[in-house]
Structure 1
Amino acid sequence: MAQEYKGKPVFKGIALGPVTVLKKQDVQVKREKAGDPESEIKKVEEAVETSKEQLQHLYEKALSEVGEASAAIFEVHQMMLEDEDYQDAIRNMIRTERVSASYAVAVTGDNFAEMFAAMDDDYMQARAADVKDISNRLVENLNGNSIGMEAGEEASIIVADDLTPSETVQLDKEKILGFVTVHGSSNSHTAILARMMNIPAMIGTEMDLDKLENGMTAVLDAFAGTFITEPTEEQCVAAKEKMQEEEEKEALLQKYKGKETCTKNGKKVHLYANIGNVGDIPSVLENDAEGVGLFRSEFLYLGREDFPTEEEQFRAYRQVLQTMAGKKVIIRTLDIGADKQVDYFGLGEEENPAMGYRAIRICLKQPEIFKTQLRALLRAAVYGNLSVMYPMITSEEEVAKIQKIVKEVENELTKKGVPYQIPEQGIMIETPAAVMVSDELAQMVDFFSIGTNDLTQYTMAIDRQNAKLDDFYNAHHKAIIRMIRMVTENAHKHGKWVGICGELGADLELTDTFMEIGVDELSVAPSMVLKLRKQICEYEGYMLD
């Protein structure tokens, strides 16, 4: 008998097929005495190395499938494995209580997870799930168990209580028709991965997993926000018709390859792609983006034990510029901090990292790090159409300091006789402060790029990673739209262009609004380029000059 469940779509699409129910088994470890504590500690050290290798493999798999930005979580897990406090607690328990390695790891994982969960800060609360995840991985490796959740041989709709990023990436993409979870946040790593993988996905679906069986037929309609088990013949026919319509729409989108992104009333809009590293360039070209609107340079700094050298950065920037062959490439300077922690920066823990020591604040406080990146960027600018943008700006004073440092770098390169070019320079508008002084800021820079993810978070005082706040998080809030309008008007008043590089840029419900406002450029995930081009080309409403 057909049973319908309602949920919240995080990536729209439709799927019809068998169900695979993934039920997590809590790692149960009995308290066992250990004869030789040092031998048990040695086992932990070996399990840590095995776990790090597994996480590196997951990182590489995610890198090839969903890009650098989404793969970074596995580098975070590797760093957490190496945390001295975590490892010391395990060793101390083994030595003082003379217990087995598995028991010490399990208890330490529970203790650390409880400690993080009890903190007031939402970011630190989210680390509870991470430390639990790495502890379970260690225990499984210590016990010689296989790790991962297999989806079976047949392509299916994955159903689970929730999925961690590692579980999502381990599943064979070719065998996933879609996924449905009972819990999860629309802004979680897993939801973002689903969007990057173009897999229909739904969260917050109230259902009893014990009542579902592997192999039963289901329809996942992430347009309507419904999940139907044992659908009727009529429901199956309707689903197939919808799937056929989607396939036809996808085929039609291919006709927009090579077409200019221009509204019916003649307004040209630049349509670029967001990427995390050079390896994402093929996807940019395949989806016919006109350029790169956001290259996240901080991922050159992740997964390392020391700062990348000027030469390493120069080669990476030069490669992306050469590969894009004259198309615009906008590189964002270092945006470390908040959810992107790197041990060798020595940033320390903060109660509220999203509003803490991050991005341009690090660059201005530690100018030698900033200068190294700027030298690499100015040198690379010789090889293509480079623009540079600076994140987390709040004031004219910050821009003035940046310009002073850029001038110092320019003088250094001139003195050494090193070829360089001064690229177009802009700032990211992602704080309410920058919005309110955008009239003045527009007179100091070449362009604005609006980072709607942080702008929404800061404007609404809502941590977008906190699932408890999903009902309050409204990216369409009229305050956000008014801010985008204000920024655009102030930029145009001074002859400067405005782009949007946050996830809101790919929100098709707002495309016409952005056209009406007069936004000049949109930068989105490569998979969204053709969908967005189609909608822009069909727009014929009022357009600001």
Structure 2
Amino acid sequence: MDSAKSDMRRFHGIPASAGIAVGRLRVVDRRRLHVHENFVLEENTSTEIDRLQDAIIRTRDELATLKEQLRKTTGDEHLFFIETHQMILADERLFAETAAHIETGLLNAEGALRRTLAKYREIFSGITDAYLQERISDIEMVIEKILRNLVDEPHSPITHDDVQTIIAAHDISPADILQMDRSRIVGILTEIGGRTSHTSILARAFEMPAVAGVEGGADILLDGMPVILDGLSGEVIINPDQTTFVAYLERKRHFEYIGQELLKEAGLPAVTLDGHLTRLKGNVEIPEEGASVLRHGGEGVGLYRTEMLFMNRKDMPEEEEQYAIYAAMQQAIAPHPLTIRTLDAGGDKLLDGMSLTDEQNPALGVRAIRLALSMPEEFKKQLRAILRVSASGKVRIMFPMISGLDELRTARILLEEAKLELDSAGISYDRSLPVGVMIEVPSAVLVADLLAREADFFSVGTNDLVQYSLAIDRSNEHLSEMFQPLHPAILRSLKRVVDAAHQESIEAGICGEMAGDPLYLPVLLGLGFDELSMSAASIPRVKQVLRRYTKARAYEVAQACFQFGTAAEVDQYLKEVTNNRAEGFL
């Protein structure tokens, strides 16, 4: 790593998985297969359809074989990604729409598949939610597998060199990561994707540093060069000079040392110096993340997002399928409690299985609990599946985007119907299963006192609460600076929610991004929140800060925040408090 400074190159991407990796770059060809769209004679369309069908069958067999191989090497807990691809492949529309392109457009199978993919891309481009928008990558990976089987050029597993290796590719599938020798492959970078892609989620589960969206990072001319990959900042440095290498090596050591020190305290209780306990839990999407939550000192899951199970499919998932996934999640964190949020989709998160008309303003349309209540029979499938899981461990149910008592009462009625149906079938469940509501819209804040009388707990979704309260589209890059969790209106809303909950002797928690930021910890602790739920990696740092505070001091800090008139002033005050060594908490 003694290259001339002029040879050093810097790339910037999206920090997808925290950590710093140092090694040799290994560029692998995971680019989309280049195929030609050709016209065919009408009498040859049946041959192209047969080719398509054969490639789909070969892809199905390939996924089944891979699933069995991974079951032997990694266990059942890491098969969700393969099963997602199998569900996409099983969707009859994929074949039907492609066959229609062949017949009506007189296209070869390869060109028809590309047109089908273009249609899916157009649909997903209209989704504003970053997490759900990333699901197009799963469809792309499946279609890529079919294309490769059409031309008989399947991908081979990614191998490593005999040195610490950082893999660079246009894209990397979850299966690629599962098949890697992670003792030698220490980091990954991709030219596409983001923090919410399946690949990034799995990289975080394995605590493998990753950077996504690195344009030009998989240039074959970079193969074999020394590289530093910073999954904290999203920076990738190719051929670093000696000064840069030494600086990053020290940063890597410091990061890993801090991580090791924090993990030493992972098993300690999240209790303040004056004995106040606040539960710290994890936010998860897949069962694979459960182990990471526990390893980082989480006391269960405060938010289990169930949307992934409903994506990329023609029909809504049946009760048994949902039960199997929820049960796997519960087992992954047992004996700790699991809070399952019911389907939070619709509008900009419209599922393929839905048949709603286009909405001019999907963020304010038929979504979350509104969508669930509009399809009671499908909703009850999910409710029954959750109830059944509660027979095996501690489970709570949480309804999203509740705006008033009518929605909560209607949802509870359907929950009672689901219980009666299980009773009739002789199926057991936890009869005292707690039922909570997410506080995400201003109306819920204003009637929090009424909701607290009929809910068992509150969980504030600060991401949406800030968005709706301040009328800020959090996906609009031009408004990012106006997305202010410390806005006085938000702080007053949080206080109102906590006070209303405690007045009725129920608990209040937070499962939005605010919960995982140590800067906000004294405010949330001082306001009286009973539970904070965040990404697994955030738990140790928040726990460390909490254990060095007193509840009394946090209360003083929180009260002081109400003296300021702007978010910038509150932010500045908290940073001053944080940097004051007399506080002794960093």
TM-score (norm 2): 0.74
Is the contact made by 1:15 and 1:239 (CA closer than 8 Å) also made in structure 2? no
Shift of 1:145: 0.8
Unaligned runs of 5+ in 1: none
How far did 1:109 drift? 3.8
Is 1:506 aligned with 2:516? yes
2:19 is matched with 13
**Alpha carbons of 1:524 and 1:465: their partners in 2 closer, same or farther (altered >3 Å)?**
same
For 1:543, the equivalent position in structure 2 comes to: 554
Q: Please provide the CA RMSD for this pair.
A: 4.5
The reply to whether residue 49 of structure 1 matches residue 57 of structure 2 is yes
2:526 equivalent in structure 1 = 516
Deviation at 1:313, TM superposition (A): 6.1
Structure 1's 180 and 79: CA in aligned 2 closer, same or farther, altered over 3 A?
closer
Partner of 2:110: 102
Structure 1 residue 240 and structure 2 residue 245: aligned? no
Q: How far apart are the structure 2 equivalents of 1:337 and 1:292?
A: 24
The amino acid that maps onto 2:20 is: I
- Partner residue, 2:500: 490
Equivalent position amino acid for 1:29 in 2? H
Question: Does 1:424 pair with 2:434?
Answer: yes
Q: Which amino acid aligns with 2:245?
A: C
Q: Is the 8 A contact 2:457 2:507 kept in 1?
A: yes
Residues 292-325 of structure 1 show CA distances to partners (whole Å, capped at 9, x for unaligned) of 323345666677966534x776677678668866
User: Within 5 A, what are the aligned runs for 1:185-204?
Assistant: 185-186=194-195, 190-203=199-212
Matches within 5 A, 1:155-304: 155-159=164-168, 163=171, 169=177, 172=180, 174=182, 175-180=184-189, 185-186=194-195, 190-203=199-212, 210=219, 213-223=222-232, 226-276=235-285, 281-297=290-306
Measured after TM superposition, the shift of residue 267 of structure 1 is: 1.9
Aligned residues of 1:463 and 1:469 also touching (Cα < 8 A): no
Question: Once the two structures are aligned, what percentage of the paired residues are identical?
Answer: 30
User: Alignment partner for residue 364 of structure 1, among 373, 376, 401?
Assistant: 373
SS of residue in 2 equivalent to 1:441: helix
User: Paired residue for 1:532, among 542, 547, 552?
Assistant: 542
SS in 1 for 2:497: helix
Cα offset, 1:451, TM superposition:
2.5
Selected match of 1:395 from 383, 400, 404: 404
Q: Secondary structure of 2:277's partner?
A: coil
Write the mapping of 1:297-446 to structure 2, written as runs, cut at 5 A: 297=306, 307-309=317-319, 327-337=336-346, 345-348=353-356, 350-351=358-359, 355-375=364-384, 377-378=386-387, 381=390, 383-408=392-417, 421-446=431-456
- Amino acid aligned to 1:510: Y
How far off its partner does 1:284 sit? 4.5
Give the letter for the 1:245 counterpart.
Answer: H
Partners of 1:188 and 1:534 lie apart in 2 by: 29
Question: Quick one: distance in 2 between partners of 1:484 and 1:331?
Answer: 22
Count of residues paired in the alignment:
537
- Equivalents in 1 of 2:88, 2:300: separation in Å? 33
Taking the aligned partners of 1:504 and 1:520, their CA distance within structure 2 comes to 14
Q: In terms of mean alpha carbon deviation, does 2-11 or 429-438 score higher?
A: 2-11
Aligned with residue 46 of structure 2, among 34, 38, 48:
38
Q: Are the structure 2 counterparts of residues 481 and 505 from structure 1 closer, same or farther at C-alpha, using a change threshold of 3 Å?
A: same
| Maintained 8 Å contact 1:19/1:156 | yes
- Cα 1:71–1:341 change in 2 (3 A) is farther
1:427/1:445 contact within 8 Å kept: yes
3-state SS in 1 of match to 2:283: strand
- 100-109 vs 200-209, which moves further: 200-209
Quick one: structure 1 residues 142 and 129, their matched pair in 2 at CA, closer, same or farther if it must change by over 3 Å? Answer: same
CA distance 1:113–1:538, shift in 2 (3 Å):
same
Distance, in Å, in 2 between the alignment partners of 1:207 and 1:325 is 43
Change over 3 Å in CA distance of 1:231–1:66 after alignment to 2: farther
Deviations 1:205-259 (A, max 9, x none): 5767659511111223344554322222233233222222233223323322431
- Alpha-carbon distance between aligned partners in 1 of 2:83 and 2:425, rounded to the nearest angstrom: 40
CA distance in structure 2 between the partners assigned to 1:313 and 1:219 by the alignment: 41
Change (3 A) 1:513 1:21: farther
Once residues 149 and 231 of structure 1 are traced to their aligned partners in structure 2, the CA distance between those partners, rounded to angstroms, is 29
Q: How far apart are the structure 2 equivalents of 1:308 and 1:181? A: 35
Distance 1:286 1:12, change over 3 A: closer
Letter in 1 for 2:269: E
